[in-house]
Chain A
């Protein structure tokens, strides 16, 4: 059983977590200049607009970097693979790779992944699986 510490919903990022509950991966988008940004910010650094909109990610991306995460003080807790994903839309997101044994005998860099959503005791997180087709 994986225990997840939930996010603190903030004015600037509540949309992301609400979207995850509905199994959508949302990226903040400037309603005026259309620049995407993550992590979210209250206004657009490109044009100064506060017209904050979202776009729904297709959920496809590439692993830039990864680690095996053991809980340092709870050895019984199941290790998780933490990944930094670059979404095809261009923004980056920290997440986890699931459905793969958490050992370091993989080379996961540059592997293609696709999003899935997992409910961890009420906290729904966007997670990723290795894509069927790899380059």
Chain B
């Protein structure tokens, strides 16, 4: 038997099977038909899930929540981080702009004192 003949034979068999199955479904007994109608009615009366519950809505909602979480985590650091260097720079500017303190800048003892203050600061930070 050639491949074409075999394919043709399969098609005929499939058609006959389909026809036989269709007939059996069309000729269900009255009892079964009635039960199926009842089942359908009962199913249609069931409460349905609201459309907002659909999966497609969870993706944007999840993304928004994640963004909010990230912002909440990073916000305190954004405010705190520049505080210390800015304060140091301001103090330095004040020191240099005051004419009385210019004398102090030319005194070597001032630098020894500054060095000690810095060392104390480092020791406090390390602790």
Decide whether A and B are members of one complex: no
Interface residues of A (CB under 8 A from B): none
Interface residues of B (CB under 8 A from A): none
